[in-house]
Amino acid sequence: MGVRAVLLALVLGLMTMVSGAWAGETGPSFPKAQGNCVEDPATMRRHHFDFLKHQRDDTMRQGIRGAKHSLKECVSCHAQVKDGHAQPINAAGQFCASCHEYAAVSIDCFSCHATTPQQQAEAKR
Amino acid sequence: MSTHRVDYLAIPAWTKGWLTLVAALGAVVAVAGLSVLYMEHQGHWVTGMTNQVVWGMPHVFAIFLIVAASGALNVASIGSVFGREVYQPLGRLSALMAMALLAGGLAVLVLDLGRPDRLIVAMTHFNFKSIFAWNVILYSGFFAVVGFYLWTMIDWRMKRVYKPAAITAFLWRLVLTTGTGSIFGFLMARDAYNAAVMAPLFIAMSFAFGLALFILFLMGSSKALDRPLSLELLRKKGRLLGLFVAANLYFVAIQHVTALYQADRGPVEAFILLHGGIHTWLFWAVQVGLGGVLPLILTLRPDASRDRLAAAAILVALGGMAQIYVILIGGQAFPLTLFPGMETTSSFADGQVASYVPSLAEVLLGLGGFALALLVTLLGASALRILPASLGDGEEATAEVLDAEGEPHAAQ
Amino acid sequence: MSHDTTRRDLLKSAAIGAVAIAPGLTLIAPPAQARAPGQPASAANRWGLLIDTRKCGSVCTACVDACKTEMGLPALDRPATDAQYIRKVDVKDPKTGHQHSLPVMCQHCAKPPCVDVCPTGASMKRADGIVLVDRHICIGCRYCMMACPYKARSFAHEDQSGQKDHNPRGKGCVESCTLCVHRIDAGGQPACVEACSKDGGAAMLFGDLNDPKSEISQRISKEATSRIRADLGVEPAIRYQGI
């Protein structure tokens, strides 16, 4: 009994160390956007989905426009432009995808929502 | 028999035949699962369903199973609510099958959704003006109500609530089938539906389809387990089936005669009854002929043999599938009337009869629903004492019990 | 190309156009003011259309084309499953041979059957009468498509790409005409109406049915109009002349 407990503790301890080290090395890296976000990064990290969900219902169901937590704005600030083309925000290594992949949380937004800023794309045409 | 002692025995599990059957049913369910993955990954364009025929083969199977589910419960209700003792030994199987068929039907329905991953949304957002939302509650409640009813049948300590449970379950199933029929009855947009007769029609359909499937399972299981099944009991059930089939035919007649009397329903009735191609053929030959008139002849003869009764039950189920196909697909294939009395054409198939060619994946999903229902029934009857040890006449019954287990199990 | 025009340009040109005719005598009054940020849609408005089918050419598809561009509906060459928010319907009287053509889209009913039957409340009517699908909670059951008397709705039968940011759409949900709610909220008018006045027969008029001074209200109070399947009592916001 005692031996088993010690072994288990050892294994668990090792796992924490290994996983900690791994996380330190390869945490999510994503392109930084220009300018300031509508909230500070710590708040966004914790609450962005609540903000987005709250505003989506306000906009969709009540028609409230112009509030600050807009998915469209996320995309327009955070999408990278490479070789004159906006990169889809949900492409591997891009802003949304990198973190969500790291946290193993799938995003349902972009099966419907545009993944590149529209104004830019249309201006270029 | 002077005493009414009924012994129930679980289906012996892990035998060769049992394993084969479970594996076969499991395989059909697995294939259905693969079909779902394929359809959901590709999207519905790989099915036969379109913007014109929005509900297809999965819904035919699902509605058949759901309607049959409430009907399968009738055997139990006749025994308990209406006090016919000869049906009481079958109450447990009746309740189990009702739940199993509903599970199979709902699985098919849910897996055909455009976003089955959002099932939780359907459970958390309710629009109480929607008969669909009510059905979500009625279907979930059915499991609870019938599950409890089954418990009162199995556990003698629950005997005091047996009768109230039976009455609740019976009323619940009536409301449930009314709800299912009302899915169509409330659709004012479509000429083929939008009639109050849909609710009683669906109840009559459920009586017939549910009893047909029940008879088939009973005959199949008694043969496989080598348990006696009295021909007299079967004939009684057969006559009841004939009665339900007649009721179904009656409501079908009402459905079409009332529609024929309304001038604006003329075109849609002409389509279904006269020149609707596959729909007309399915209506007259399969639904009315094979699934209505022929079973009537087979079941109402007092000297009906086992084979004839089995054939009648199969025909009723087959006719039932055709009936739901004609209601569901036929009703959608006929174009919407935007401009009464006018001929219309457009890029969106206005004024045209829609064609529907079911894809293999859809049909496999539907068959998976049947397999799932059968699998649940089989596993349930293997884990619990559901099936009577004997439904034979006289001495046959007790002999069988003692042979099978060595000690009798008193259940009453 | 209308789709290359940004919303700002559009408003600008609309304003100029209105002023240019004659100050004080605006023939095409701006149908709506952009709603202030943070303000919800209001029941004081009831947006609607008046479509004069006598001005609608049978081969003209300006409204349909504009809708496809505006809403980002690509042609996948699968007519049975491709989305169509608006379509041209040719109507012929079999007795007399008289023919006419008209656009049909979501009729934005006051009593929408699609909203009644939706189990989750995804199918909804906004305060200003615009009927929409909240695709965040649409489960794709298609009951609304069964219930709609106008066949106004489409189901996204496959993965979509190239969505417009004002019209998110994806596989497994039902969609339909939004009356260009994104333009209306910004003070504009639907893309089909704009295209019809520019490239078509100027058969479509957009406006506020609740505002007695609006051009649409003025016209429907003076001229005979009707609605498709008015007998159903769902009270559409789309009125027609000449049907």
Range scoring the smallest mean pLDDT among A115-119, B370-374, C237-241: A115-119
* Interface contact C33, partner A, CB < 8 A: no
Q: Do C139 and B121 touch (CB under 8 A)?
A: yes
What number is the average pLDDT over the span A69-91?
91
Q: For the stretch C72-98, what's the b/e string if a residue is b when 16 or more beta carbons lie within 10 angstroms of its beta carbon?
A: bbeeeeeebbbbbbbbbbbbbeeeeee
The whole-number pLDDT of residue B411 equals: 39
Confidence band of A32 (pLDDT split at 50, 70, 90): confident
Share of chain A above pLDDT 70, in %: 82
Q: What is the pLDDT of residues B10-23, one digit of tens each?
A: 999 999 999 999 99
Q: Which of A61, A111, A119 sits opposite C171 (nearest CB)?
A: A111
Confidence band of B402 (pLDDT split at 50, 70, 90): very low
Most A CBs within 10 A among C165, C167, C169, C185, hence the mutation to make, goes to C165
Share of chain C above pLDDT 70, in %: 87
- The neighbours of chain C, by the rule of 3 or more Cβ pairs under 8 Å, are A, B
The whole-number pLDDT of residue B394 equals: 57
Q: Which of A58, A65, A112 sits opposite C35 (nearest CB)?
A: A65
Confidence band of A34 (pLDDT split at 50, 70, 90): confident
> Angle at Cα C53 formed by Cα C49 and Cα C59, nearest 5°?
115
- 3-state SS of chain B? CCCCCCCEECCCCCCHHHHHHHHHHHHHHHHHHHHHHHHHHHCHHHCCCCCCCCCCHHHHHHHHHHHHHHHHCHHHHHHHCCCCHHHHHHHHHHHHHHHHHHHHHHHHHHHCCCCHHHHHHHHHCCCCCCHHHHHHHHHHHHHHHHHHHHHHHHCHHHHHHHHHHHHHHHHHHHHHHHHHHHHHHCCCCCCCCCCCCHHHHHHHHHHHHHHHHHHHHHHHHHHHCCCCECHHHHHHHHHHHHHHHHHHHHHHHHHHHHHHHCHHHHHHHHHHHHHCCHHHHHHHHHHHHHHHHHHHHHHHCCCCCHHHHHHHHHHHHHHHHHHHHHHHHHHHHCCCCCCCCCEEEECCCCCCCCCCCCCHHHHHHHHHHHHHHHHHHHHHHHHCCCEECCECCCHHHHHHHHHHHCCCCCCC
Domain map (residue ranges) of chain A: 36-78, 80-110
Share of chain B above pLDDT 70, in %: 94
The whole-number pLDDT of residue A5 equals: 74
Q: Do B127 and C232 touch (CB under 8 A)?
A: no
* Interface contact C164, partner A, CB < 8 A: yes
C169 contacts in A (CB within 8 Å)? Answer: 112
* Residue of chain A whose alpha carbon sits nearest to that of C159: A111
Range scoring the smallest mean pLDDT among C33-37, C123-127, C163-167: C33-37
Q: Do A62 and C40 touch (CB under 8 A)?
A: yes
- pLDDT higher than threshold 60 for residue C17: no
Q: Could you tell me which residues are beta bridge partners of residue C87?
A: C104
The whole-number pLDDT of residue B412 equals: 36
> Angle at Cα B341 formed by Cα C78 and Cα C154, nearest 5°?
25
Confidence band of B407 (pLDDT split at 50, 70, 90): very low
Confidence band of A7 (pLDDT split at 50, 70, 90): confident
The whole-number pLDDT of residue C13 equals: 45
* Tokens standing for residue A74: 């996320």
DSSP state of C212: T
* Residue of chain A whose alpha carbon sits nearest to that of C123: A61
- Scan for tokens 């759409």, then name that residue: C169
Confidence band of A8 (pLDDT split at 50, 70, 90): confident
Q: ipTM value, please give it.
A: 0.91
B52 contacts in C (CB within 8 Å)? Answer: 80, 151
Range scoring the smallest mean pLDDT among A15-29, B371-385, C100-114: A15-29
Confidence band of A10 (pLDDT split at 50, 70, 90): confident
The whole-number pLDDT of residue C19 equals: 41
Most B CBs within 10 A among C151, C154, C158, C173, hence the mutation to make, goes to C151
Phi, psi dihedrals of residue B408, rounded to the nearest 5°: -75, 145
- The neighbours of chain A, by the rule of 3 or more Cβ pairs under 8 Å, are C
- The neighbours of chain B, by the rule of 3 or more Cβ pairs under 8 Å, are C
- Calculate how close chain A gets to C39, using CA atoms only, in Å: 5
- pLDDT higher than threshold 80 for residue A25: no
Query: Could you tell me which residues come within 8 angstroms of residue B383 by beta carbon, excluding any fewer than 6 positions away?
Result: B10, B13
Q: Which of C37, C132, C160 sits opposite A66 (nearest CB)?
A: C37
What number is the average pLDDT over the span C26-54?
83
The whole-number pLDDT of residue B397 equals: 46
The whole-number pLDDT of residue C14 equals: 45
Q: Which of B40, B116, B125 sits opposite C120 (nearest CB)?
A: B125
Q: Do A114 and C4 touch (CB under 8 A)?
A: no
The whole-number pLDDT of residue C67 equals: 97
Q: Do A62 and C38 touch (CB under 8 A)?
A: no
* Residue of chain A whose alpha carbon sits nearest to that of C184: A63
Q: What is the pLDDT of residues B231-248, one digit of tens each?
A: 999 999 999 999 999 999
Q: Do A67 and C38 touch (CB under 8 A)?
A: yes
Q: What is the pLDDT of residues B57-88, one digit of tens each?
A: 999 999 999 999 999 999 999 999 998 888 88
The whole-number pLDDT of residue A82 equals: 87
Q: Do A62 and C127 touch (CB under 8 A)?
A: yes
Q: What is the pLDDT of residues B334-364, one digit of tens each?
A: 999 999 999 999 999 999 999 999 999 999 9
Q: Which of A64, A114, A125 sits opposite C38 (nearest CB)?
A: A64
Confidence band of A123 (pLDDT split at 50, 70, 90): very low
C84 contacts in B (CB within 8 Å)? Answer: 51, 347-348
* Interface contact C137, partner A, CB < 8 A: no
Q: Can you list the domains of chain B with their CATH numbers? A: 8-380 (1.20.1630.10)
The whole-number pLDDT of residue B56 equals: 97
The whole-number pLDDT of residue A18 equals: 56
Strands B343-346 and C154-155: unpaired
Confidence band of A31 (pLDDT split at 50, 70, 90): confident
Interface of A with C in 39-58 (CB under 8 A): 56-58
Most C CBs within 10 A among A70, A112, A119, hence the mutation to make, goes to A112
Q: What is the pLDDT of residues B184-229, one digit of tens each?
A: 998 989 999 989 999 999 999 999 999 999 999 999 999 999 999 9
Q: Can you list the domains of chain C with their CATH numbers? A: 40-241 (3.30.70.20)
- pLDDT higher than threshold 90 for residue A11: no
Q: What is the pLDDT of residues C140-158, one digit of tens each?
A: 999 999 999 999 999 999 9
Q: What is the pLDDT of residues C173-192, one digit of tens each?
A: 999 999 999 999 999 999 99
The whole-number pLDDT of residue A24 equals: 52
What number is the average pLDDT over the span A72-100?
91
Q: Do C136 and A72 touch (CB under 8 A)?
A: no
* Interface contact A65, partner C, CB < 8 A: yes
Q: Do B338 and C89 touch (CB under 8 A)?
A: yes
